[in-house]
Amino acid sequence: MQDLINGFRKFQSEVFGQRSDLFKHLATTQNPGTLFVSCSDSRVVPELLTQQEPGDLFVIRNAGNIVPSYGPEPGGVSATVEYAVAVLGVRDIVICGHSDCGAMTAISTCKCLDHLPAVANWLRHAESARLINAAREHASDAARLSSLVRENVIAQLANLKTHPSVALALGQGRLTLHGWVYDIESGAIDALDERSGGFVSLLDQIHAA
C-alpha cells in the first residue's frame, strides 16, 4: 500500500500540476473514442499499450477479457457496453486478449476450478472458444494456449454483437469492432483480419490498408 501512496504523492506533486488544463477539462466531460475490453491481468495496461491520455479510452477489465452475450439479466459488463455505445458514442470497440492469460490457461489445461466457483461460472462465457480449440490438433501446450487466446477474442466479438446497442450501431455504420492479442514478452500486437479470419501483425495490417 505504501507504494500506492508514494505513487499518488508523485502524481500530485509532479504530474497533476503539469496536466492541470487537461484535468480541468475532464472534470465535467468525457469523450472517449474507443471502448477497450481487456483482461484484468496486472501486466496488461490498455493506456500504456496504446499511449492514450486520460479520457481517451473507456475501459472494461475482467478475467479473460470476456463480454457475456446479452441476456434477460444484463450485468455490469453489459451495462458498460451499452453506456459506451449508446451514450458516449464510441466509434470503436477493441477486445484485447494476451499471452500467458491465466483464465485461458485454466480452460486450456482443463484445470479443476471447484475451489473457484465464481471463476468457473464466469469462464463459461468462453465455452464456444474452448470447444472450437479442443477440436483442433496442437503442436504443444503453448500452441494450444495461444490458439485459445485468439479463439476467445473471436468468441467475445460474437458475444458483443448480441448486444442491442452494438447491433444498432453496427447496422448504422457508426461502430467498428476489433480483435487484438498482445504478447507480453515482445510487446507486439496481432489483430484479427476479417477477410482471412486469422491474426496478423497490427502494424503490418495498418501498412497494408
Which one from 101, 144, 150, 178 is the annotated catalytic residue? 101
Annotated active-site residue 101? The verdict is yes
Q: Which is catalytic among the residues 9, 19, 43, 174? A: 43
Q: Active-site residue among 98, 125, 144, 163?
A: 98
Which of 21, 25, 41, 183 is the catalytic position? Answer: 41
Of 186, 201, 162, 131, which is closest to residue 177 (Cα–Cα)? 162
Beta-carbon contacts of 173 under 8 Å, excluding residues fewer than 6 positions away, are: none
39 given a catalytic annotation = yes
The residue from 3, 9, 39, 100 that is catalytic is 39
User: In sequence order, what are the beta bridge partners of 98?
Assistant: 182
98/144 Cα distance (integer angstroms): 14
- The rounded Cα 88 to chain-centroid distance in angstroms is 18
- Map grid coordinates 500500500 to a residue: 1
The catalytic site residues sit at 39, 41, 43, 98, 101
